[in-house]
Amino acid sequence: ISRLDPQTNSSQIKDEFQTLNIVTPRVRPEDCSVGLLPRNHDKNRSLDVLPTDRCLPFLISVDGESSNYINAALMDSHKQPAAFIVTQHPLPNTMGDFWRLVFDYNCSSIVMLNEMDAAQLCMQYWPEKSSCCYGPVQVEFISADIDEDIINRIFRICNMARPQDGYRLVQHFQFIGWPAYRDTPLSKRSILQLVRRLAKWQEQYDGGDGRTVVHCLTGGGRSGTFCGICSINEMIQQQNIIDVFHTVKTLRNNKTNMVETMEQYKFCYEVALEALSSF
C-alpha cells in the first residue's frame, strides 16, 4: 500500500484498470447455482448479473416459501467484514424480500444510487406517509428532508411475522446526483458528503458496526464504486494511505461487476484526492 500520489496520471490509472480486469475472477455458472435455479429466475433483473453462492445472504425462511434467495452479495469494507449488502433495485415481486433482507441482517441504512424508472420496473419501494407492509415487514414513515443531492428518510420497520424481534430504525439515503446517462456522479463533493453522512449515522445508531444495503439498478458498477469510495475513506481516516487497486480487487473477488468502467475507477482516485484535501 502506498500513499496516494496526486500526480497519478491517466495512463497509470488505465494500466491499473486493465490489470484489474485481468485478475478479476471469472465467474462460472456453477458459482451462481442458487440464482440460476428455475424457481429464482423471476427474482433476478438479469441472469447475467448474479451473485456467487459463497457471498449470498439468505433470508430467514417464511412458512410456505420454497426459496430464501435474494439477488444480493455480502461485501467487506476496509474495517468491517460484511459491512455492505449490495443488491439490485427491488422488482415489484421482490419488495417484500428486500425489506426482509434489511430486517433479517439488522441493516440500519439503505443507500439508493439509481433513478426510479417505471419502464425498467424501478418503482418506489417505501411509503411516503404513514406505513405500508411489504410482505411480512411493516415499514413506517417517520421523517424526510433533502440536502443538496441527498434525500434522507427515516423509517421504523418491524417483521409482523416475528413481532418479538421488535422494531428497528433505518435511514434511507436516496442520492439524486447521479443521472442515469453518466458513469459517475456529477460531484465528487456530494458523493463524499453521502459517504460521511452514512458513516455518522452508523456511528450514532450502531456504534459504527451496522450494515448498509447498497443498491443501484442491477447492483453493479454504481454500487461497487460507492462501496469502494467508502472503504478508501476509511483507509484515509485510519492510516492516511490509500490503495484503490486493492480496494476494488477485494470488492471484485466477491462480485465481478463492482466498478465496471475505467471512468468509475478513475473517479475513485479523484474522490480520494478530494477526501485528503478536505481533512
User: What is the pLDDT at residue 5?
Assistant: 54
pLDDT of residue 103: 96
**CATH assignment of 9-278?**
3.90.190.10
For residue 8, the model assigns a pLDDT of 57
Q: What would the DSSP string read from start to end of 25-45?
A: PPPPGGGGTTTTSGGGGGG-S
pLDDT of residue 61: 80
d(Cα 203, Cα 279) in Å, to the nearest integer? 19
Phi, psi for 121 (deg, rounded to 5): 60, 35
Query: Do the Cβ atoms of 162 and 175 come closer than 8 Å?
Result: no
The pLDDT score that the predictor gives to residue 2 is: 44
- Structural domain spans, the chain: 9-278
pLDDT of residue 240: 81
pLDDT in tens, 95-120: 999 999 999 999 999 999 999 999 88
Confidence (pTM): 0.94
Strands (E), the chain: 72-75, 84-88, 107-112, 131-134, 137-147, 150-159, 167-175, 211-216
Question: What pLDDT score was predicted for residue 278?
Answer: 73
13, 86, 185, 241 from 9: Cα distances, Å: 6, 30, 20, 18
Question: What amino acid is encoded at 4 in this protein?
Answer: L
Which residue carries 428455475 as its cell? 38
Per-position pLDDT tens, the chain of length 279:
344 554 557 888 999 999 999 999 888 999 999 999 999 999 999 888 899 999 999 999 877 677 899 999 999 999 899 999 999 999 999 999 999 999 999 999 999 999 999 988 999 999 998 999 999 999 999 999 999 899 999 999 999 998 999 999 999 999 999 999 999 999 999 999 999 999 999 988 877 678 999 999 999 999 999 999 999 999 998 888 889 999 999 999 999 899 999 999 999 999 998 888 776
Question: H-helix or E-strand containing 18?
Answer: helix 10-23
